[in-house]
């Protein structure tokens, strides 16, 4: 594939963006982040198709970074890759143990598995049972857990003590915020609990994404192209942090996931499998050939939105209006 550098280019006019925009509502196979459909705007840029899909509850200031990513990918292109494929993990949502096998069956290979924990309405018993079932089914796989900041300090300590016996690769964002993460990591070291800490929300939702590295709050960082404002900025953050990085998706369609793969493919080092296999959680997609892993890896093929699928999954008119208004507001923030 041709190598394209995401060199800065002038932001396209809002009318050009809206003319290239398709609002879709994609069904999910399982409830994820409390939703059964994922709404997104697919843009047809001159370089690539791209995606703008900040979660519905995000304010315009936060969502504008997602738009910057979509405009960078669609109008400037992707960074040059240093590898031909990107290893990815399977993701197990907060489902009962009886459903774990079915979720894993959607992946053609699961060398690494991320298990969601700390789900609202569940408890540690549920988390342990879910992780235990994954370990039973895949005794040789790398296991990691993701709490999305859902535990307090004491809850996280109890949970990681209970889960440490499953040989976790790392625990992602067990507590919210940078300072709490640093305090937890210090206490884990004191107790000699061998669990690495990965920072996700403490990187992408903080005003200073480098605070995690400066305070020694994590062993590695999780970066996502959309929330961080595009591949170019995410690459700079990883370089400045000096920590190993895992690239993850934000529950993107195939088009959005391809942007994440471009970021992962451009990283100088990639010691861990990436969280970019979430297209397998969708019951519908915008690409005729969904961007799913083969043998646990994503290749770097071009991903284009299919016009028929854009029509099939077109969101209702009132939702399209809502998204177009959001696009206008976020585009205005990018120039102010």
- The whole-angstrom separation of Cα 113 and Cα 131 is 10
The answer to whether the CB of 8 falls within 8 A of the CB of 252 is no
User: Region 297-317: what's the mean pLDDT?
Assistant: 97
- The whole-angstrom separation of Cα 84 and Cα 290 is 18
The domain 85-305 having CATH identifier 3.40.30.10: the answer here is no
Residue-by-residue DSSP string for 134-163: HHHH-TTSEEEEE-TT-S-HHHHHHHHHHH
Q: Is 205 one of the annotated active-site residues of the chain?
A: no
| 62-100 pLDDT per residue, tens | 999 999 999 999 999 999 999 999 999 999 999 999 999
For the chain, domain boundaries: 14-77+308-335, 85-305
Are 14-77+308-335 and 85-305 in the same CATH fold? no
Catalytic, out of 29, 114, 116, 205: 116
Q: What is the CATH topology of the domain spanning 14-77+308-335?
A: Enolase-like; domain 1 (3.30.390)
pLDDT surpasses 70 at 8: no
Burial class (CB within 10 angstroms; exposed 0-12, middle 13-18, buried 19+) of 98: exposed
- Is 146 annotated to bind ligand? yes
**What's the pTM?**
0.91
* Sheet strands side by side (includes 35-44): 21-32, 35-44, 49-52
- The whole-angstrom separation of Cα 95 and Cα 106 is 14
- Is 172 annotated to bind ligand? yes
Residue 1 has a pLDDT of 32
Q: Is 116 one of the annotated active-site residues of the chain?
A: yes
pLDDT surpasses 50 at 4: no
User: Region 105-133: what's the mean pLDDT?
Assistant: 95
């Amino acid at each position: 594939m041709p190598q394209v550098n995401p060199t800065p280019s002038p932001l396209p006019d809002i009318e050009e963006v809206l003319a290239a925009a398709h609002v879709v509502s994609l069904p999910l196979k399982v409830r994820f982040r409390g939703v059964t459909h994922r709404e997104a705007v697919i843009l047809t840029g001159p370089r690539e198709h791209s995606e703008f899909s900040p979660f519905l509850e995000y304010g315009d200031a936060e969502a504008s970074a997602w738009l910057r990513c979509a405009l960078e990918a669609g109008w400037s292109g992707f960074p040059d890759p240093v590898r031909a494929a990107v290893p990815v993990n399977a993701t197990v949502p907060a489902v009962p143990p009886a459903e774990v096998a079915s979720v894993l069956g959607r992946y053609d290979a699961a060398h690494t598995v991320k298990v969601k924990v700390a789900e609202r309405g569940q408890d540690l018993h549920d988390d342990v049972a879910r992780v235990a079932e994954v370990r039973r089914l895949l005794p040789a796989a790398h296991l990691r857990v993701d709490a999305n900041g859902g535990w307090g300090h004491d809850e996280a300590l109890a949970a990681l003590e209970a889960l440490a016996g499953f040989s976790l690769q790392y625990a992602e964002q067990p507590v919210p915020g940078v300072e709490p993460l640093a305090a937890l990591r210090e206490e884990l070291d004191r107790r000699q609990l061998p669990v690495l800490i990965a920072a996700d929300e403490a990187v992408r939702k903080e005003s200073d994404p480098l605070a995690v590295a400066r305070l020694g709050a994590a062993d590695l960082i999780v970066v996502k192209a959309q929330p961080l404002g595009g591949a170019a900025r995410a690459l700079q953050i990883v370089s400045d942090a000096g920590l190993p990085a895992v690239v993850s998706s934000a529950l993107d369609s195939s088009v959005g996931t391809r942007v994440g793969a471009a970021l992962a493919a451009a990283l100088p080092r990639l010691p861990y499998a990436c969280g970019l296999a979430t297209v397998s959680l969708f019951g519908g997609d915008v690409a005729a050939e969904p961007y799913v892993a083969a043998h646990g890896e994503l290749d770097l093929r071009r991903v284009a939105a299919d016009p028929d699928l854009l029509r099939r999954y077109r969101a209702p008119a009132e939702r399209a209006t809502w998204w177009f208004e959001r696009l206008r507001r976020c585009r205005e923030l990018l120039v102010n």
